[in-house]
Structures are given as C-alpha cells and as structure tokens.
Structure 1
Amino acid sequence: MSALGGGRPLRTRDVAGSIGGCFGPSERFCPSINDSEAEALSRRVFDAHAHVHEHADGTVHNHYHRHEEGEGEAPHGRDAAGDPVDEHATRHGEPPLHEHDAASADVAVLSARGLSYAYPASDGAVFEDIGLEVRTGTVTAILGNNGAGKSTLLSLLAGIVRPTAGTVEVEGRALASLSRRETAQHIAYVAQQQRIPHLSVYDQVLLGRRPHLTWALSDYDRTVVAETIDRLGLEPFSTRFLDELSGGERQKVYIARALAQEPEVLLLDEPTSALDPKNQLEVLETVRSITRQGALATVLVIHDINLALRFCDRFLLVRDGTVVACGGREAVTDETLSATYDVPFCVQQVAGVPVAIPLDGPKDEPSETLRDERRRAHGRG
C-alpha cells in the first residue's frame, strides 16, 4: 500500500491523468504522456516516497512524517559540517519564494507589448495592440464583459496560445523562446475548469513540483510542498481527496499546486466563480497575502468589480479587443466602467473602500439624468 494515492495503490492513469492538471487543461501547453512515460514517472514517485510512507512492519505514516536519516548523512538543510545550506539558492541561484526581497518589489516581471490575437479562420481579431506590465508584489485584475476575451488574454500571458502579433516576456525573456518546462518554472496558471484526478491533497500539491523534478524528489521539493500546504491552511486535509472538500477548499488546493511550482507569476482564471461570499473573501485574501509576502505577481480574471476593487492593486479594463483603461484604482471610474460594461456606473467610497454601483437605464440616456442619478448615489442630491 502507498499513501501517495491517499492510502491505495497508485495507478498509472492517476499519474498520467493528473499531469495536465499541473498546468491547466490545454493539451498544447501540457501534452499527454504515453504509458511507458507514465509508468516511469509512477516508479520515480513511488521510489521517492516509499521511505516516507511505508515501513517494514507494514505501518503507513502520513505525509508529514519525516524519514529517518541514514548513517553518515548530513541532516536535512545542513552540510557535512552541520552548517545550514540554502538548497533553493544552490539549485536556482535565488532566495526561496517565501523570502521576499523588498528590493524586488514593483518590478515588471511579466510584460506584453503590441499583443494581438485572432482565432483561426476568424475575420476579426480578439485583441489588437494590447500592452500590459505586471509587477512583483501586486495583484492585477482583468475586467470586462462576457465574451470580451479576458480568459483568452490570460491564456496568451500563460503561453498556452501564441499571439498573432506582439510579444509576451517574463523576466525579460520572450515567452515564445521558452520550452513548456521553462515556462512552467516561471508562470503558474490555474484554469477556471479543472480536471480532478483521484489523488490526495498532498499529492495534488506535489504535482506542482513537476517542472523542477529531476530523477527523484529532493528534500527541498518535500519542504516546498509541506510549507505551501501549511501556508494555505490545508494541513488538516492533506490526506483527503478533492471530492471530499468544499469548493473553497478545492480552490485553495489548486492555488497551492500552482504555488508549489515556485513561479514568479500566478495567473488565475475566475478563482471565485461558484464560491459563496465567505469563501470568495477567504480565497482572495489568501491570494493577496501570498502575493505581497512572496516575490510574486498575480493576474486574475474576475467578474465581481467590487471584489476586485477590494483586493487588487491594478486594473485592466477591456472591451471589444481594446483597452479602455489600465492603472491603479484611479483608473476605475464612473466613465471607464460605463464604457467597459455599456451601463452607467457610479463609484463611491464605502468604509474607505471604493464600491461600483450600476445605475438604472442604458448608457446612452441623457447626460443630465445620469448626473442627477450620480449626485443622488453620492448623497449630494
């Protein structure tokens, strides 16, 4: 028995079916693997975990039970002399994700220039000449009507689809020049619709390490998974399956799996859809917290304007393939929202937080009437 599959033997199709979920549903971004490759990966994962989960007496310990160190081995995280070793710095030449260097704040880690995209055999472009900079330590919201192309734009930023014109760069490198593995080391993408392989929470998060895996899991890989689970408050659920969790808990697992990739950029497609208000607040507070605490930039597609105003730092408003406005909260005004959604809006402060209120009537009604309604909404009429 192996605890890797949550207390049952892991099947080849579990591994093969769950690989795509590590990056999102697109086969172009994460191609399927054949049976022999899946079997090899399964053996690698079994070998890496056998000493953690199963003992000679047949007892199985949970995922957080530390294995006994062999004779002559240096303790985890220390060299032979007993001095601390930064495994992440050794492997990647940079500090771990959770150790945020303040000097890296406000750095444009992801940028799009002259970005255009048209579906194959389509007469018109979905986007034309889009420009965007995503900065470390900030949460950027993409706002727009249904069908405005928000999810398509997110897919372009993730490298899932290629633009017909323009470039996307991550840390100064063109996304088109990176392999899928390299892209996944920099950018984590959580799709709106998830494929859910029958694995435990721990193993779901463990899949996030795939872009960094060599022959077997290292102590550092296990540490990243354990710390990520702990940071998102998922430790009590680590051995449970996803179909046993609530919607909010599952969404946190998807985010944890993405964070286990240790990306510089986190892309979320409608992370609060189908969640109740309590879980919406919890998920977005988690996203904002990990973005500000870690060397991370987050971009999310969201329909709730007021949740975006509460939790996001920057905003990109799009309509019909063009940018209506881009910037901080000052970019979200009565006029820009009205132009984006084709209905009149009034933005006012409630308890120190801007709130967008849609007004009755079509956008093109007489301007004097709109001014009167906005005065009443602001309490001035």
Structure 2
Amino acid sequence: MTNLPIYLDNHATTRTDPRVVAAMSPFWTECFGNAGSGQHRFGQIAADAVEKARGQIADCLQVPSNEIYFTSGATEANNLALKGIFAGRSQGPTGHLIVSAAEHRAILDPAKRLRRNGVEVTILPVNEHGRVDPQQVADAIRPTTKLVSTIWANNEIGTWNDVATIGRLCRERGVWFHTDAVQAVGKIPIDLRSLPIDLMSCSAHKIYGPPGIGALIVRRGRRRIRLTPLLDGGGQEGGIRSGTVPVPLVIGFGEALRIAGEELPSEEVRIRELRDQLWTRLQTRCDSLILNGHPTERLAGNLNLSVLGVDGTALLAGLTDVAVSSGSACTTRDPEPSHVLRAIGRNDQLSRASLRIGIGRFNTIAEIDTAAEHIATVIEQLRDHKRKHTEHHATHD
C-alpha cells in the first residue's frame, strides 16, 4: 500500500514486528496441530510451542508460567477478572467493587453490568493528571469489598498509577487487586515477584504482536483466587478459559514480549526523545496547547494534547497526513467526548479538540518532523479560518 499517512496511533494497535511474523509463520501451515491433541506429533509440537511462549511471557513478567491464562484479548481478560470474582454464587453477584473514573471501557462497562446485577460499585475520581489517589482507595474499602481494579498506564493520556501502593493497601485489607496493564506491559519494567498484584490483564497487539490474543495473570499467593469462567467447554487454560488455543497467536504473543523485554531500555529512551521532540516542535509553532496527563509520570510514547480555538471534528478531518485519534480506539463510535478527559476536568470543547498521539517502535525522526509540521499547519489554518470568519461577521453586524 502506498500514500498512507504517518502512523502515530500506537496506543490503538501496533504494527506486528516482522520477527514476530516469522516466529508465527510455521504454525499456520506446517506445525498446524491442535495443542489439545496430545495423541499425535502435530498436537505435541503445538503444545510444546504454547508452553514455550507461556514461558517467554513468564520470564518477562517474572511470574510462574502456570499463572498465565490466555484469552482472546484484554477485553476478555478484564471481564474475566471482574465478573469471575463476583459470579458463581447461587444468590447472585454480591459484594463491593472499586474502580476509577479513568478506566478503559473494558473495565467500566463490566462494572456497570455487575452493578445492575446487584454488586455495589464505587467509581473513584482521579486528579488533574488522571491518577488515582491510593488514600481514596483505602478510604473506599468496606468490609464487603472483594476487588479493586485500577489501570496501570492510561490508554488515552499515558499517566501511570501507583499500583504498588494501591496493591499493598488492598493486600493489608484482604481485598483482591486487579490492574489493566495493557499499555504498561512491554513498555515499562514489570517484576510481579515484588508487586502486590493479584490479577493483571495484558494484550499482544499493543506490543507489536498479533491481535486476538491476550492473557489474564492470576497469582497464586497465600489465598486462592477463585474465578468463575465466562466460557464453559473443553476446560482449556486450566479450566479458567475454555476454547481451542490459537497456537500461532500465542507464539506471536510470546515472541513479541520476549523482544519487548530485551529492547525496552533502549527503546523507551528513543521513543521518549521522539515524543519530546514532537511536543517541543508543536509548542514552538502553536500557542494555547494543553498537555493532558502527568507531565513526567507517563508512557514514553504518549502525547495527549487539547487545542484551544479549533473545532475538534475539523481538526481530525484536516490531519490527512498523520494517523492519530482523539480518544480510545474502542470508543471512537461514541459521539460523547472522552470520559478520561472529562474525568481530569477538561470541558467538552477541549475534550473534543484533543489529539492522542502514540509513538512507537517503527517511527523515525523524519516522520516526527513531518508530523509536527503537518499538525502545526492544520492548527494554524483552522485558527486563521476561524479568525477571518469572526471578523467577517463582526464587519457585517
């Protein structure tokens, strides 16, 4: 394909790394067995490959491989974590759940469904940077609280949460702690041996792996976590997630996370430099730009900004040479402004006239320079058009 825009939407999804594609390739056409068919060589090869990939993920996250349960992606993993804790009781779902107002919809929507089914749900506010106050979490915990779920790195504004402190507070009170780590895994160092996290969701297509595969990490600590499965069937994945294991996707997930773990130190520095260069260039050309999210405690590749004095729809329509978004890719069909930007205090105009820019592994300095020029030019043109329109009406009034 030619004449495509510069891709700067790496929070939505990433290009699959060619090394990942190469690792997956034999398992589409040569080693195509079902990992559950252990009676013959094809199935044995597939099963061994799945366990190798599980081991790669375990090594990167520092967890035993038997704590990793593959799912179709992070949405399923999040649903399994929340619904699995509260389901399976004869009297129906009961208890208390705590989440934050800046969670992904794959947390907020299951929480709302649980509320309709009888679970008490507390949605905590976040501060102006999108961070959850650990003390507010502690204050919200009740005797009936079963689970706290907070996002690790926000998918829109990139802000990190202090999951270590939140998890410790939960553990002290005997409450399970889940984190949606989709944007954090492979982008910041993670060592689950030293973190009080009980359940963690992750996904391959955010780290240059294939779409359609994710995992829920279920820790085996002092207390056993009893999850009710969402799917009944063959009992694959330790009975927690039934369904034929998609072997090529699992292979890709393992390889993607292996590469991410090895290259993280240098890649994080390079991507942060590209982001800072883009932000500096935009600020030099355009005034009245507002940074959304924490200024330093954020993902290296994340730049989320609101533009004063322009129409949000016109802004996105004008950016023909770069691929960016104005919010989560999972809610782009929703005409409402970003719930995350609203949660940090942005009004509707600033929420609509926002850009979520995600810089990734395959972006270059030349692309960043071109993107900065294009974005700045479009902003200037829109502001100039608005100024002339205002002057015209003022002259004829």
Fold-level match, TM-score > 0.5? no
TM-score norm. by structure 1 comes to 0.31
TM-score norm. by structure 2 comes to 0.30
Higher relative strand content: 1
Q: Which has the higher contact order (CA 8 A, sep 6+)?
A: 2
